[in-house]
Amino acid sequence: MSLTRELQSVAHAVAEIIRDESLQPAFAPPQLRQAVLAYPLSGGKALRPAMLAWACRALGGTLPAALRAGAAVELYHTYTLVHDDVIDRDAMRRGHPSAHALMEEEGRKQFGLHQEAAHYGLSMAILAGDCQQSWAITLLATLPELGADPRVTLRLIHQLQRVVGPAIVEGEARDIQLPFLPVAEVAEEDILHMMRTKTSALFSYCGWAGGLLARGQEDAEVRALAEFGERAGTAFQLQDDVLGLVGSEQKLGKPVGNDLREGKRTLIIALAWTRADEAERTQLSAVLGHDDASHEDIVAATALLRRLGAIDDVKAMADRYLQDALQYLDILPANDGVRLLRELAETMVKREK
């Protein structure tokens, strides 16, 4: 079966688990339930659940528990997206209104809100993210019903809440703080550390969790899957930064250039700044962190970043992280699970959305 069909199969299985009302907490009122379900059922790529399921498959594990764990990870990831959209004030996600924008509109319709509509939307979205996080943990706790060792289940929950969760929050906090620093003071390692915590930590968890479900204990191959996930996750984020500038808005489901308007300190910006002359830095400064930057300003700034070689260099860096990730799969036995992980990682870097 092709990678696309395998991914669709995982995405379908995850959606069915999320739709299963017997596995859902009693979310109320109905508007909150609407916000909780909006992202998980909006057609995400299911990259993280697929990595977890195929890591389990790579080490000879069975899929039912891995797919349910993958659904839990998807919910956990979704909670971070909902909160991230609130923080970044993004109105769109996957071609649809973001959770807070959706709830803002619902507030207008149901309660006739005007000035308070935006605050209502933000408040409901924050609560929806809280619900998704607690649902994810509850779902992991049901894994023994599918034959998972209860001790393994506890390790999965402990690692997610004690290590991965704090890492994601740290990465988000650093992502918020970095734009307030002068561009020249933000080092490449600062940005990579932010990526490893905000994005790569959950991918690493997926490789580790899938392997642990298969093996029942941590060994060299389980650790290799964790290292694979971390590096593939960093490659994914680097490509995400590239697409945020030169991708298709139609394919991405959100506007390009927002990273510039928000003043995000990406590696693209850091590399370009070190190469730019005074006039070019002035041009970049006129766009970075300016919500009112026009489409023409964004196009011109993107052309400058490309001319300085920063976009191509970050693409090349993403490929290096990909090749590094793939090396960790070489110690695993050749099988369909390993093949799918390899193809998945390559797709994460070559994707256009």
pLDDT range class, residue 329, cuts 50, 70, 90: very high
Which whole number is the average pLDDT over 235-262? 85
Which whole number is the average pLDDT over 196-220? 98
pLDDT range class, residue 256, cuts 50, 70, 90: confident
pLDDT tens, 133-184? 999 999 999 999 999 999 999 999 999 999 999 999 999 999 999 999 999 9
User: What is the residue extent of each domain of the chain?
Assistant: 3-350
Which whole number is the average pLDDT over 89-99? 92
pLDDT range class, residue 254, cuts 50, 70, 90: low
Q: What is the pLDDT of residue 248?
A: 75
Q: What is the pLDDT of residue 257?
A: 86
The owner of tokens 């000035």 is 115
Structure tokens at 44: 């995400």
Closest Cα partner for 281 from 305, 317, 262, 246? 305
3-state secondary structure (DSSP) of residue 201: helix
pLDDT tens, 222-231? 999 999 999 9
Q: How far is 216 from 90, CA to CA, in rounded Å?
A: 41
**pLDDT above 90 for 94:** no
Q: Which CATH fold would you assign to the domain 3-350? A: Farnesyl Diphosphate Synthase (1.10.600)
**Span of 43-47, 125-129, 195-199 with lowest mean pLDDT:** 43-47
How many CB atoms neighbour CB 181 within 10 A?
12
Are the CB atoms for 205 and 159 separated by under 8 Å?
Answer: yes
**pLDDT above 70 for 192:** yes
pTM of the model: 0.95
**pLDDT above 80 for 353:** no
Q: How far is 59 from 62, CA to CA, in rounded Å?
A: 9
Return the exposure string of 233-270: e unless at least 16 CB atoms fall within 10 Å of the residue's CB, then b: bbbbbbbbbbbbbebeeeebebebbbbbbbbbbbbbbb
pLDDT tens, 296-319? 999 999 999 999 999 999 999 999
Average pLDDT, the chain: 95
pLDDT range class, residue 253, cuts 50, 70, 90: low
Are the CB atoms for 216 and 316 separated by under 8 Å?
Answer: no
